[in-house]
Chains A and B, each alone.
Chain A
Amino acid sequence: MFWRVTFELLRGLGSCAELFALTLAFALPLGLVIAFGLMSKWRPFRNLRTPWLRKWRPISWLTNIIVWIVRGTPLMLQLIIIFYGPGIWFGNNLWAFSSGRMSACVLAFVINYACYFSVIYRGGIEGVPQGQREAGEVLGMTKGQIFRKITLLQMVKRIVPPMSNEIITLVKDTSLARIIAITELIKAGESFMKSSGITWPLFYTAVFYLLFVGVLTILFNSLEKKLSYFR
């Protein structure tokens, strides 16, 4: 029995890991794009009379609203809307293909986590002293060179602790996937309760989460250590 349970839970862990990896792969870069949106200084109406229009930064305004909505509503609700929404409102289920459930889940997670990441990125970028950028500017560097060669690594160093929190939360949030019937860890463990009337597999799932998070913690600690060569 133990080996059967372990095998089933490993399959559940596989779904978790897939969702986790795909979410990170897309949400990490997308979050940076959203962060640039949040910080956008573009003011298309700065030459007009109306004071509030002059100050209006539409890109920043729009991304702020998106981030507010995404962070202000439960991920579970977003997941339900993305998966069932198209079928209910437009009468066509976008997600009817074979890996459709996982795709819908990844989409919901990417949007949600990208918004959380974006705020962390923004904090990291704004935490780099203005003098760093100015020093690059007076040396004739372009905006892109300044970001890549000066700001980026300093930002990464600043965001490792908040990012590690967020990413560890992501590990556990993967359990939400069950509401659109993906067999992740907890659902896999729980299924034994129904089929064989045993509860220990459910608690056994904690070991898998702990191992997953343990590995991540080691990775984050070593990254932090790697970046400790400068201040």
Chain B
Amino acid sequence: MSILEVQNVRKNFGSTAVLNDISFSLNEGETIAIIGSSGSGKTTLLRCLNFLEKPSGGKILVDGNVIFDAANRAARQEKEIRRQRLNFGMVFQSFNLFPQYTALQNVTLAAELLAQERPDFKQKKKELLAEITERGKKLLADVGLQDRMMQYPHQLSGGQQQRVAIARALSLSPRILCFDEPTSALDPELTGEVLRVIRGLAEKKTTMIIVTHEMAFARDVADLVLFMDAGVVVEEGPAKDTIERPKTERLRQFLSRYAEGEA
């Protein structure tokens, strides 16, 4: 059974339709790359999955459970949304690290706040916090930042900041990790270190949705690719096949623009 099922998701901003009947599904351990030109709705789709936008229509299922259904207008409680959104982790294009916290604190903050809500927090405070710190250190070591844990975001390079952001997104063990153009804000020589980390996650069978303009990366790392244009899914399929042998004219044109850009 698929871990994520997106059914006919629509999103309007006022009268403009930004997403139109988007459907796709994703199996556990798979990576899907979402490609498409600027303004095609990729970011909006990720934001809908993370409850940063409310879809105007459609359904979202995780593990077969409906976590969002636009037809069910029963007011959702904030508490319920908070629980559901923990299914997803999000890595933003602009990192969005918390500047007043060290790399380690960035990674552990959410877990600490969540632990404080446990009924047994008072009695087990020490162990719980020690556990969270250990886990934070391990996550940072996994992205190659064991020497940078006590530094503040402004002391880190863009690539390092984005790796902290990845560790932070993993801190609550989300089922599905979303990336919105994780390397677009980086200098070209820094994209490699971030892409390497994401590649490592794919090898560990992390379920991921990656919006990217790095076609070679999408082809090599993703299992599936989804090509969006003007708010609709134009073509989807196995990553390598679809990118090397696009079936639709629109994807062919889109990819050829990239080939020129890279040449």
Contact = CB atoms under 8 A, between A and B. Distances in A.
A145 B172 CA distance: 16
Contacts of B114: 140
Q: Which of A135, A136, A149, A154 is packed against the most chain B CB atoms within 10 Å?
A: A135
Contacts of B86: 140
Contact of A229 (B78, B82, B152): B152
B152 A230 contact: yes
A138 B170 CA distance: 11
A229 B52 CA distance: 30
Contacts of A143: 78
B113 A138 contact: no
Contact of B88 (A136, A138, A145, A157): A138
A143 B82 CA distance: 10
Interface stretch (B92-100, B123-131, B208-216, B255-263): B92-100
A139 B96 CA distance: 12
A132 B90 CA distance: 13
B20 to A, nearest CB: 24
Contact of B52 (A134, A142, A149, A150): A134
Interface string A150-165: 1001100100000000
Nearest to B152: A230
Contacts of A135: 90, 92, 96-98
Interface in A158-179: none
Interface residues of A, number: 22
Interface residues of B, number: 29
Interface in A89-123: none
B96 A153 contact: no
B57 interface: no
Contact of A231 (B88, B89, B99, B168): B99
A137 interface: yes
Given A132-B98, A153-B100, A231-B154, A139 B172 contact: yes
Contacts of B113: 141, 145, 149
A132 B109 CA distance: 13
B99 A137 contact: no
Contact of B96 (A132, A140, A145, A229): A132
B48 interface: no
B100 A131 contact: no
Contacts of A138: 50-52, 85, 88-90, 169
Nearest to A149: B109
A140 B82 contact: yes
10 contacts: A129-B96, A132-B98, A135-B92, A135-B96, A135-B97, A140-B82, A140-B83, A140-B114, A141-B110, A231-B154
Given A137-B85, A138-B169, A230-B154, 9 more contacts: A131-B96, A132-B98, A135-B98, A137-B50, A138-B88, A140-B85, A141-B110, A145-B113, A230-B153
